[in-house]
Chains A and B, each alone.
Chain A
Amino acid sequence: MAAIPREQPHIRLTSTKSQHQLSQIGTYILLTLGAAIILIPLYWMIATSLKADTKLFVLPPQIIPDPVVWSNYIDVWAIQPFTGYFLNTIFVTLLAMGGEILSCALVAYGFARFRFPGRDAIFILLLSTMMLPGIITMIPSFLIWRSLGRIDTFSPLTVGALFAWGPSYIFLLRQFFMTIPREIEEAAIIDGANVIDIFWKVMLPLVKPALLAIAVLSFNGNWNNFMGPLIYLNTPAKYPVILGLYTLAGSLSQEAPKWNYMMAMTVIMSIPILLLYFRAQKYFIEGLTVGGVKG
């Protein structure tokens, strides 16, 4: 009689242990399945970009391209002036990014550290603009730029960034500024520093992680911006890569679409973003989750 109760806990222990192992294996199987769903299309994008024209539609499909046609990458580059497109993209992205970071940091510092009447109401107004669909302001903005004679220039794509667009960036930076102890600023004031000095030399270095998060998000947003260039640019030579890709897609023939070229260009266009992502992944995810958890 006495032996049974003593054994019971032992049995239960092993069974939960093996159950645990089983569920652990199940977890990995499911996760691998999900990863396959993510990765197979991406693999197919790269594989297609290396295939010969004649091998695109063969059945069964070639899993590994044979022959491997690296020249697709060179050929697609020559179909349209992609060198120019890349320069345009880099130029616009860097200007917009720089303006966004600097102006958002100034505004966030103002909200985080200085008391003034109506501050909280204004901040709520700022947050509520996140909900506003851009399309509402798009037509009047277009008309403003038109009346300034700036259609078909890069100005509409860059100058606006100086006005601290991106309420989520301001929100993120403000959270960071608020965590910095006031004593640090007070010490600087005693040393005779003015507001600009404190902002530039004391505060900005302290919120560097947030600045990097914003830099990464802003780079991503501007690099991938599609609607802006589509509306404002007319001259093909001024296109960013994304519009080059769009016109390339439009010129695909219906009978024998050159998907190998399209995928090659897609790969080229994604490389800078992917490099940035793998290097600064932490900042991508930090910027993304801040609203979801703290908001």
Chain B
Amino acid sequence: MLQWYLSTLLDYMLAAAGIALVMFLVYTLLPRLGVKRETATGIALIMPWLLGFAIWTAYPIIASLYYSFTDYNVFQAPRWVGLDNYVRILTQDPSFWPSIKLTLLYGAISLPLGLAGALGVAMLLARNVRGTGIWRTLYYLPAVLPGVAVVLLWQWLLGTNGLFNVTLSPIYNLLGIGRPSWFTDERFVLPGLVIMSLWGVFGSNAVIMLAGLKNIPIHLYEAVDMDGGGSWTKFRHVTLPIVSPTLFYTLILGIIAAVKTFEPGLFIKLNPRTSGTFLQVLIYSNAFAGGNSKMGYASAMSWIMLVIILVLTLLTFRSSAAFVFYEGERS
């Protein structure tokens, strides 16, 4: 055991020494080539990130694009197959479309609900309540827990005989239905996942939005009062415009987080062919799980995922002009 730790430490020291050496070389050699001292120092200081970007971001992006056009199982050299992977994913893979549907629906349902809930809580907290700190601590709590802990907890709560069903059983009896098994019954998987995600995010998003709400100058509300406007006017014409940049930021992060969801899909055994699974789980299982190592195929899938994220982000950005208000900007 000690040996693993020591060999890791050795790798760590070597990498650190390597980075330090590059920084030192940039710092001493560039001025000799006639570069200003300040420029050389600045470039030397950002060297760790520049190296990291080249090795762990730029190269992998290019490599992954290349792999996506190949058949590659790690043990043999990649074999060029053109668009074959993409065609197979889009037309033949029985798990792909159900998974796209699940991932997107999950995001489309849980995001607006989570944001609305968060905004509601944030507005309550902004009303000069006593003990704001304590409320904030409480509401932020689920976001600190390990994602895996949240998933396990909700698997237990939403089980057939879990607390959730037992509490709601009078309602089930009233409606004359049995207790749903949230995470094994296809029809209930999506609502179950949404309930779990709402519990995990609305509190922490509320804390972010509270910070935005605190920026609202009180005189704006007073102006509405003078004009005889009610609470709806205040919300629609003061609160919403001022928090809209925060809302927008949370929305973008939320889209990316929803498409990247991983832990729930791995713990809750979903049948990828019927109920679908999360896209990222599908990529993981094609590349790494159960002796699979379809690196080319999985790379192609991850590029499809990137395109989905880009399109969604772009659409949000395009539409943001309509609902996001920046103070410095003329409307």
Interface residues of A (CB under 8 A from B): 24, 27-28, 30-31, 34-35, 37-42, 44-45, 48, 57, 59-61, 84, 87, 91, 95, 99, 103, 106-107, 109-111, 113-117, 119, 122, 125-126, 129, 131-144, 146, 150, 153-155, 158-160, 162-165, 170, 195, 220, 223-224, 226-227, 230-231, 237-238, 242, 245-246, 249, 259, 262-263, 266, 269-270, 273-274, 277-278, 281, 284-285, 288-289, 291-293, 295
Return the CB mask of B1-18 against A: 1 if under 8 Å, else 0.
100110111011001100
* Chain-A contact segment, one of B81-89, B129-137, B233-241: B129-137
CB pair A35 B211 closer than 8 Å: no
Instruction: Known A-B contacts: A140-B67, A143-B63. Give 4 more (CB < 8 A).
Output: A135-B283, A158-B12, A164-B48, A292-B209
Q: Is B61 an interface residue (CB 8 A)?
A: yes
Whole-angstrom distance between the alpha carbons of A283 and B209 in the complex? 17
CB pair B124 A110 closer than 8 Å: no
CB pair A110 B46 closer than 8 Å: yes
Residues on B with beta carbons closer than 8 Å to the beta carbon of A142: 287-288
- Among B55, B64, B149, B157, max chain A CB count under 10 A is at B149
Interface residues of B (CB under 8 A from A): 1, 4-5, 7-9, 11-12, 15-16, 19, 23, 27, 38-39, 41-46, 48-53, 55-57, 59-61, 63-64, 67, 74, 121, 124-125, 127, 129, 135-142, 144-149, 152-154, 156-157, 161, 163, 166, 199, 203-204, 207-209, 211-212, 215, 246, 249-250, 252, 256, 259-260, 262-263, 266-267, 280, 283-284, 287-288, 295, 298-299, 302-303, 305-306, 309, 313
Whole-angstrom distance between the alpha carbons of A39 and B50 in the complex? 44
Residues on B with beta carbons closer than 8 Å to the beta carbon of A114: 38-39, 41-42, 45
CB pair A278 B137 closer than 8 Å: yes
CB pair B1 A35 closer than 8 Å: no
- Among A59, A155, A231, max chain B CB count under 10 A is at A155
Residues on A with beta carbons closer than 8 Å to the beta carbon of B246: 292-293
CB pair A146 B74 closer than 8 Å: yes
A-B contact pairs, 9 of them (CB 8 A): A38-B142, A41-B153, A107-B46, A110-B42, A134-B260, A139-B302, A195-B41, A224-B147, A237-B1
Asked whether A106 and B305 contact (CB < 8 A) given A37-B199, A289-B208, the answer is no
Residues on A with beta carbons closer than 8 Å to the beta carbon of B259: 133
Chain A nearest Cβ from B305, distance in angstroms = 6
Total A-B Cβ pairs within 8 A? 287
Name the CB-closest residue of A to B145.
A270
Whole-angstrom distance between the alpha carbons of A57 and B236 in the complex? 48
Query: Contact partner of A162 among B12, B166, B203, CB < 8 A?
Result: B12
Name the CB-closest residue of B to A23.
B127
Give chain B's interface secondary structure class. helix
Asked whether A277 and B41 contact (CB < 8 A) given A31-B124, A160-B52, the answer is no
CB pair B59 A140 closer than 8 Å: yes
Chain B nearest Cβ from A290, distance in angstroms = 9
Chain B nearest Cβ from A135, distance in angstroms = 5
CB pair B153 A140 closer than 8 Å: no
Whole-angstrom distance between the alpha carbons of A224 and B142 in the complex? 13
CB pair A284 B287 closer than 8 Å: no
Name the CB-closest residue of A to B287.
A139
Query: Contact partner of B12 among A122, A159, A170, A289, CB < 8 A?
Result: A159
Residues on A with beta carbons closer than 8 Å to the beta carbon of B142: 38, 42
CB pair B124 A30 closer than 8 Å: yes
Residues on B with beta carbons closer than 8 Å to the beta carbon of A48: 156
Name the CB-closest residue of B to A109.
B45
Residues on A with beta carbons closer than 8 Å to the beta carbon of B57: 129, 132, 137
Whole-angstrom distance between the alpha carbons of A155 and B6 in the complex? 11
Query: Contact partner of B146 among A129, A224, A288, CB < 8 A?
Result: A224
Chain A nearest Cβ from B320, distance in angstroms = 13
CB pair B166 A288 closer than 8 Å: no
- Among B67, B209, B211, B287, max chain A CB count under 10 A is at B211
Whole-angstrom distance between the alpha carbons of A105 and B70 in the complex? 40
Residues on A with beta carbons closer than 8 Å to the beta carbon of B64: 136-137, 139-140
CB pair B52 A163 closer than 8 Å: yes
Query: Contact partner of B152 among A35, A115, A266, A278, CB < 8 A?
Result: A266
Whole-angstrom distance between the alpha carbons of A291 and B41 in the complex? 27
Name the CB-closest residue of B to A243.
B148
Whole-angstrom distance between the alpha carbons of A278 and B256 in the complex? 28
Whole-angstrom distance between the alpha carbons of A114 and B47 in the complex? 13
Residues on B with beta carbons closer than 8 Å to the beta carbon of A195: 27, 41, 45
Query: Contact partner of A115 among B8, B39, B303, CB < 8 A?
Result: B39
